[in-house]
Amino acid sequence: MTYNIAIIGATGAVGHKLLSTILDRKFPTNEIYLLASKNSAGKKITHNNKEFMVEDLDSFNFSKVDIAFFSAGASVSSKYALLAEESNCYVIDNTSFFRMHDDIPLVVPEVNEEDIDTSNRKIIANPNCSTIQMLVALFPIHKINKIKKIIVSTYQSVSGAGQQAMNELTEQSKSYFSKDQIVCKSFPKQIAYNVIPQIDIFTDNKFTKEEMKMVNETNKILDKNINVNATCVRVPSYMGHAESIYIELEKDMSIEDLERALQNAEGIKYSNSDYHTPIDSEGEDWVYVSRVRKDIYKNNIFNLWVVADNLLKGAALNSVQIGESLIKKKIMSTNE
Ligand code: A2P
């Protein structure tokens, strides 16, 4: 069985990864439609010698598609994902627009694949990149010893803000050395040779929207009783997000038992002898966990260092895995 699929935001950083992940994982496709804004219509995108033509989203008819992967920003999803759903097409949405809607499942397949339910709606939301890698790492621990509290600080690469943001880091780095004026468009302050403790806008409680996404999405996916305290920081790396995570567990636990849970877990590469950096995760499907330490004072508190490719497990790969879950659960009908 094969499926007609569409990628919305195909010219963007995540859009490119969606196409390569779909092809590399041999997702059973028939037609693949690449969609973006009018400006990109007619552009060609090549992967593994296969050439695809980009089409204008505005004039696209979703009724010829079985499954649409959206990654063109929340405002595009707010309009076109609904149009796709009305055309009987399954939507996997990588934007924040539907994530906290009660009737839309928010899914990390390793953690809550069973939450996929399309009996009312045909839209499934893909969580925020920082939430995904944190929850893949923490789920095997939470399963055997409930997590009560999480304190997380992130070190997020510029690719999380899209292709233009990656170009901005390059331009600012050149300007820094040539002593030209630094131009900030994608970020509120200079990102080259700097770090910025703000991702997305501030909310009324002084946390940023990105930080509140980590709180709310963790409560929706993993457990509504976990207290989450997040500080999200943009750093001048291109690919991969890193997170320093503190967890407080319900019961005391040995570090050996905690390591055993991580070693046997789906989607995780664990190391107790080395550590991983964001560059190690680039192009890889794994969530890397290292530097596990038991608290100096308490036996129910641990620290972990978690790294993943934000465009893959944090976005494209997780979305494609959701698509694979739809097939596994025999939810999708086909074009055949
Ligand atoms: P385009 O390149 O034509 O502007 P990134 O996250 O890397 O910034 O990429 C954003 C993606 O979303 C791009 O593919 C971009 O297409 C697409 N996009 C943004 N706004 C729209 C829109 N109004 N309609 C269709 N696609 C859009």
Same domain, 146 and 273: yes
Q: Whose CA is nearest to atom 6 of ligand 1?
A: 162
- DSSP-derived secondary structure for 146-215: -EEEEEEEEEE-GGGG-HHHHHHHHHHHHHHHHTPPPP-SSSSS--TT--BS--S-B-TTSSBHHHHHHH
Ligand 1 touching residue 127 (CB < 6 A):
no
Distance 36 CA to ligand 1 centre (A): 5
Q: Which residue has the tokens 């005391």?
A: 252
- Ligand 1: residue of 45, 75, 76 to mutate (most ligand atoms within 8 A of CB) is 76
Mean confidence (pLDDT) of the chain: 97
Q: Whose CA is nearest to atom 11 of ligand 1?
A: 9
Scanning the chain, the segments in alpha helix (DSSP H) are 13-24, 74-86, 109-112, 129-144, 163-178, 209-221, 255-263, 278-281, 317-328
Q: Whose CA is nearest to atom 18 of ligand 1?
A: 72
Same domain, 323 and 302: no
> What 3-state DSSP class applies to 68?
strand
Distance 180 CA to ligand 1 centre (A): 29
Same domain, 113 and 232: no
Q: Whose CA is nearest to atom 16 of ligand 1?
A: 36
Distance 61 CA to ligand 1 centre (A): 18
Examine the pLDDT at 335 and tell me if it is beyond 90: no
Active-site option among 16, 142, 241, 276? 241
Q: What is the pLDDT of residue 332?
A: 76
Return d(Cα 132, Cα 283) in angstroms, integer.
16
Distance 178 CA to ligand 1 centre (A): 31
Return d(Cα 111, Cα 273) in angstroms, integer.
26
Ligand 1 touching residue 334 (CB < 6 A):
no
- The amino acid occupying position 308 is A
Ligand 1 touching residue 72 (CB < 6 A):
yes
CATH number assigned to the domain comprising residue 187: 3.30.360.10
Same domain, 175 and 99: no
Of 200, 283, 234, the residue nearest 17 (C-alpha): 283
Q: What is the pLDDT of residue 43?
A: 98
Examine the pLDDT at 215 and tell me if it is beyond 80: yes
Same domain, 155 and 72: no
Distance 73 CA to ligand 1 centre (A): 7
Return d(Cα 101, Cα 125) in angstroms, integer.
9
pLDDT tens per residue across span 13-63: 999 999 999 999 999 999 999 999 999 999 999 998 999 999 999 999 999
Q: Give the pLDDT band of residue 331 (cuts 50, 70, 90).
A: confident
Which atom of ligand 1 is least distant from the CA of 54? 3
Ligand 1 touching residue 21 (CB < 6 A):
no
pLDDT tens per residue across span 96-105: 999 999 999 9
| 129 given a catalytic annotation | yes
- CA 50 from chain center: how many Å? 26
Same domain, 251 and 329: no
Active-site option among 16, 129, 142, 276? 129
Domain enclosing residue 63, as ranges: 3-127+315-335
Helix (H) or strand (E) holding 95: none
Query: Please, are residues 200 and 165 in contact by the beta-carbon 8 Å criterion?
Result: no
CATH number assigned to the domain comprising residue 84: 3.40.50.720
Ligand 1 touching residue 73 (CB < 6 A):
yes
Same domain, 244 and 225: yes
Of 131, 152, 330, the residue nearest 233 (C-alpha): 152
| 89 given a catalytic annotation | no
Q: What is the pLDDT of residue 73?
A: 97
pLDDT tens per residue across span 13-23: 999 999 999 99
Q: Taking CA 110 as the corner, what is the angle to CA 106 and CA 115, rounded to the nearest 5 degrees?
A: 40
Q: Considering its fold, how many domains does the chain have in total?
A: 2
Token pair, residue 183, equals 């131009």
Q: What is the pLDDT of residue 334?
A: 54
Same domain, 171 and 116: no
Ligand 1 touching residue 40 (CB < 6 A):
yes
Ligand 1 touching residue 37 (CB < 6 A):
yes
* Phi, psi dihedrals of residue 216, rounded to the nearest 5°: -70, -40
Same domain, 29 and 90: yes
Q: What is the pLDDT of residue 56?
A: 98
Burial class (CB in 10 A: 0-12, 13-18, 19+), 79: exposed
Sign, CA dihedral 136-141-143-145, equals: negative
Return d(Cα 269, Cα 83) in angstroms, integer.
39
Same domain, 183 and 269: yes
Ligand 1 touching residue 164 (CB < 6 A):
yes
Examine the pLDDT at 217 and tell me if it is beyond 90: yes
> What 3-state DSSP class applies to 223?
coil
Q: What is the pLDDT of residue 30?
A: 97
pLDDT tens per residue across span 157-192: 999 999 999 999 999 999 999 999 999 999 999 999
Token pair, residue 277, equals 């950096």
Q: Give the pLDDT band of residue 330 (cuts 50, 70, 90).
A: confident
Burial class (CB in 10 A: 0-12, 13-18, 19+), 98: buried
- Ligand 1: residue of 14, 39, 40 to mutate (most ligand atoms within 8 A of CB) is 40
Return d(Cα 224, Cα 229) in angstroms, integer.
14
**What is the signed CA dihedral for 253, 255, 256, 261, rounded to 10 degrees?**
80
* Phi, psi dihedrals of residue 95, rounded to the nearest 5°: -100, 175
Q: What is the pLDDT of residue 97?
A: 98
Same domain, 103 and 216: no
pLDDT tens per residue across span 265-300: 999 999 999 999 999 999 999 999 999 999 999 999
Q: What is the pLDDT of residue 92?
A: 98
Of 159, 316, 154, the residue nearest 228 (C-alpha): 154
Same domain, 252 and 302: yes
Share of the chain above pLDDT 90, in %: 97
